Structure 1
């Protein structure tokens, strides 16, 4: 994935206005500023045996997915949002993660790669309990 800047957008994309949206302001348009127009290109070609990948993280992943979901990087992906809800892509429905039920473990183990996203302000909450819970479940099943 290569990104470059090709001028500016007078109105930012929705993913760039996320904080403005949640601020619940009466006149948010007064705060909108031009943003860089990012153009993406993909060097990778689609592979016959693409893998499944799992991301565990926060809303910071939505911006990454905005680009990755258009690329031939994986067959499918899942996102364990704060390790509370599953957001599968390209198909499936959003479901809560019930930690006491092993379904989330089975889905996680189908992934060749697991990516833990964390904001440096929350490094102490890396994976939101996912790594510890996964290791515990794996050790009790062996």
Structure 2
């Protein structure tokens, strides 16, 4: 019988940081959609995330292909309007991603600040001759 260690071999590898979500623009899009469960228009997303039309379209395509976002086109106003909504699977993956990201923050915060400050002071203090 093999006994396994409960701690991961590489505790700082953060395997759960989903590469699809981790890209800055897609993280912005998903965060916007999480805070607007009824969805957002293409124009609203573009403004909230400070993206160009082409950039937003490409990121939405990646998220849609990955099943995290659902796009719909409405023509109620006589003009086609694309609306993006986060899917149930997308919401679940986003929350799992945040859990791992919170661990990254906890790990970084666990560093002794006093020890860091002393190290910085030593590096900045000129060597006396």
User: Structures share a fold, TM > 0.5?
Assistant: no
What range describes the TM-score normalised by the shorter chain of this pair? under 0.3
RCO (CA 8 Å, sep 6+): is it higher in 1 or 2? 2
TM-score (norm. length: structure 2) = 0.28
Q: Tell me the TM-score normalised to structure 1 length.
A: 0.26
More helix by share: 2
